[in-house]
Structure 1
């Protein structure tokens, strides 16, 4: 699963006015809670390592909103390893409120201009704001065309965050009085199709936190009566010091507004249900997080139990031998592997050590990418030699890492047999909601599985091609059982081909028609815009 990357994560913090200092602000007064933002971002760094940034609010500062953003990790961008330089930055960014962002790109380039938050300066404070965004608008091409077709508007960047920035800016320019921000965000997003959670901070000290009407992307918040905080994952709030009962998931289609009068939560758009991204529980979220009242750790352990049940029902495999061990692919498959091993009465062993400093394989191509994938894990011969290895993985996306890994487990580790078990159904369709897999030809599973059918013959054919002795995926039905949410409340489009939004389904049909052609993501969006414009 190390081949699959999320887009980003967002965070926000606000010390409520006219209230005592929160005990969570151990060394920060109300006017310096912005110092807590790097800590929040570190806890959601798993969601994006390409860039980071924050905007703080201080009404006493000449530059009321001040933004720092750059390419690099949170530690690099805020110089956390250099005390003096970090302190200098934090003094510049001091404020009673802040929003922050970590980014991995599914669109746009890998340079500083795409790092978030995006700040829109204006002479009127009510029109001066900063914005950060997690997700992807599947009708981006249509929205872009609508904005630019009269020739009077120009977009500098190739990102849907800029679209959102301009939509909000346009509505602010059309209004003459003070905006009702929840009503305004409802107007700005009424034509959006896709997934989004966002945080917005104004030069008047107003904070807005938003979650899309289907709740595809997660958003959690907490309030102890003095300090309000929000983040893409609950673990960031837990580590800040909030009690578990103080942490909640924002309901789909709802927004939180915080200003000098306190906090209010209300819907900004109608919501017909939910379509939570199931990959949050399977892979993306920190194992310590709880999203929409469902524990990530418990969901992953249930996936392992589902894998064990399939093994127990299959008479072809006899695992009651001393030479059999279960090995997780680090790190996120460990909970599933441990639960599977426990259910089967087998030892779970860490036979692979992950090299966290090997670099990112997803930005490489061809042989270079495969070579980096091979260096990412070190097999332990002391654990693997002569063993029948049940290798548990989260998913197989493009197969680059798995191919290289199986070779090294045999050659370096000396394993006798390797049986791959995947704690997820086959990924047969792209994601248009913020995960880095936007074309069918990027995926390995569609070459083997059709119409979602998991036959033993097709799984064995894939195992042979990968170099495994056997391979088994979980069926789609296992996901809802493991997360303990009805299937209709989850987005499972990448494993079913059934998308929760109209434009997502259109894009999938276009992607299927382009399957045998050279990949061209922009053409896909352009074709969608043309198709929707024609009705």
Structure 2
């Protein structure tokens, strides 16, 4: 999948299965066919990963619609009618099942309508070929895969996204009289995929597949206690279901979990010469309470704040006195801001109050980001008035929100000085693995860096452009220190321009060639697709 206000994320996936045997105590109502009721609860806990659409597919062998899918545009609460007890209950009864998969979506590619909501379901007369699946990520070689499919006679694609490509590639492996194991399907299709993909699949035989790409770009956690299995993009949904922390693990890259004939197994489907975990999960996207690949999101963000404080103390450029405060941009910057303030021995204050009913501007999709940003945060003059403010932000991508914030903090909040501190290096390159920033022209930093290294002069120009008194980014080496992973185990393409896959690097070259050509309205992979068919 693919698109970010400051940034749009990809999506989130979830799965649950009540295995044969004694019904697990966490299974609702003590009935195996009610296991699917856990899915909306899990999706609520990964709502941070996408608010455009949500859906689930449930498996129940005792009904005509063995697989049945409910999906719609909207938040999880809206899609599953959670504020209306009767309607929510009716949905849970209709979509009951011993197993279910689910998805929350932000559109990284494709239109913002129900047809692009996931899971995708492919009906077939043979139960083994009737399946539903959902995925988190993006195929960097989407255009090439699409061109190859359409070059074959009688093939047609109804949607402009890589989700449909994946569905057809899986279907191809199931065609004819072949009866491959689900893990063997993954072994085959992964040879053709370049990019990021964590996926969940459920078929009409009751078989389930949960898989993570060989680089492990997107996170994927799972837990198995007794007869209950669950998986999700993050650890928080599993913890909140009631699984013990020691039961929650990250699925290794290139591995798949299968449940076939009621039997649980974990198997490697592809070699993983290296990992390339998306560093932005720890910096921004993931729930601060999550643990991904044995690394705490909260602790990583506090370390980033300590790195900011270390740089501040090293040069002593900004006075630290009784009028100095640290203010986080809610909510993802709070851990870093608190840690920075603690190390600097100045107060950390909530000088910006987020309107939690305005939505996350990076997830909402199209529209006026400036107006959304203005309604998103309210500055507190009682906190900010007359103060020297260290404003801590997790990242600056397009700068729309930051410009609005600085103006409101100064005019409405009455701050004396505003010093922006970014708990991330400059975003200089697009993402082709599931985050909506696919062109260079839309990014803030490259416009001012213009190929120059990040130094005091460049950062002063950036501050002036934003309307801040000063600005400081973290250096690239701070990221691996904070996450406690070697740089070669992280995907840091958006801050280095070095991509972990061939097609990602090729798309970056196209993005560089398109700088200043007016293609900003189109994503790079869409421009590439147009160019491919124009040749």
Note whether the superposition's TM-score is higher than 0.5: yes
Post-superposition offset of 1:32: 1.2
- Of 55, 60, 63, the residue aligned with 2:62 is 60
Task: Say if 1:26 and 1:56 are closer, same or farther in 2 by CA, change over 3 A.
Answer: closer
Matches for 1:224-239 after TM superposition, within 5 Å: 224-239=225-240
Which portions of structure 1, spanning 4 or more consecutive aligned residues, are displaced by more than 4 angstroms?
362-366, 527-531
Post-superposition offset of 1:190: 1.0
Post-superposition offset of 1:449: 2.3
1:441 is paired with a residue of what secondary structure? coil
- Distance in 1 (CA, whole Å) between partners of 2:361 and 2:274 is 37
2:518 is aligned to 518
2:132 is aligned to 130
**Runs of at least 5 residues in structure 1 that lack an aligned partner in the other structure:** none
Post-superposition offset of 1:220: 0.3
Q: Is residue 7 from structure 1 mapped to residue 6 from structure 2 by the alignment?
A: no
Post-superposition offset of 1:28: 3.9
Task: Say if 1:51 and 1:365 are closer, same or farther in 2 by CA, change over 3 A.
Answer: closer
2:356 is paired with a residue of what secondary structure? coil
Q: Which moved more, 1:490-499 or 1:307-316?
A: 307-316
- Of 36, 39, 43, the residue aligned with 1:37 is 39
- Distance in 1 (CA, whole Å) between partners of 2:220 and 2:477 is 26
State the TM-score, normalizing by the size of structure 1.
Answer: 0.96
Aligned residues: 528
Task: Say if 1:527 and 1:453 are closer, same or farther in 2 by CA, change over 3 A.
Answer: farther
**Matched-pair contact (CA < 8 Å) for 2:18–2:27:** no
1:248 is aligned to 249
Matches for 1:384-533 after TM superposition, within 5 Å: 384-450=384-450, 453-519=453-519, 520-521=522-523, 522-526=525-529
Q: CA RMSD in A?
A: 1.6
Q: Which moved more, 1:185-194 or 1:376-385?
A: 185-194
Post-superposition offset of 1:184: 1.2
Task: Say if 1:28 and 1:39 are closer, same or farther in 2 by CA, change over 3 A.
Answer: farther
- Distance in 1 (CA, whole Å) between partners of 2:189 and 2:516 is 37
2:175 is paired with a residue of what secondary structure? helix
2:210 is aligned to 209
- Distance in 1 (CA, whole Å) between partners of 2:129 and 2:44 is 30
2:149 is aligned to 147
Post-superposition offset of 1:450: 4.9
Post-superposition offset of 1:189: 2.2
Post-superposition offset of 1:523: 4.7
- Distance in 2 (CA, whole Å) between partners of 1:530 and 1:312 is 55
Post-superposition offset of 1:525: 2.7
- Distance in 2 (CA, whole Å) between partners of 1:212 and 1:67 is 25
1:23 is paired with a residue of what secondary structure? coil
**Matched-pair contact (CA < 8 Å) for 1:288–1:296:** yes
Post-superposition offset of 1:318: 2.2
Q: Is residue 156 from structure 1 mapped to residue 163 from structure 2 by the alignment?
A: no
Post-superposition offset of 1:364: 7.2
Post-superposition offset of 1:177: 4.4
- Of 71, 74, 78, the residue aligned with 1:72 is 74
Post-superposition offset of 1:524: 3.2
1:56 is paired with a residue of what secondary structure? strand
- Distance in 2 (CA, whole Å) between partners of 1:163 and 1:233 is 25
Post-superposition offset of 1:51: 0.2
Task: Say if 1:491 and 1:242 are closer, same or farther in 2 by CA, change over 3 A.
Answer: same
**Matched-pair contact (CA < 8 Å) for 1:503–1:528:** no
Task: Say if 1:11 and 1:523 are closer, same or farther in 2 by CA, change over 3 A.
Answer: closer
Task: Say if 1:528 and 1:270 are closer, same or farther in 2 by CA, change over 3 A.
Answer: farther
- Distance in 2 (CA, whole Å) between partners of 1:308 and 1:243 is 35
1:357 is paired with a residue of what secondary structure? coil
Q: Is residue 95 from structure 1 mapped to residue 97 from structure 2 by the alignment?
A: yes
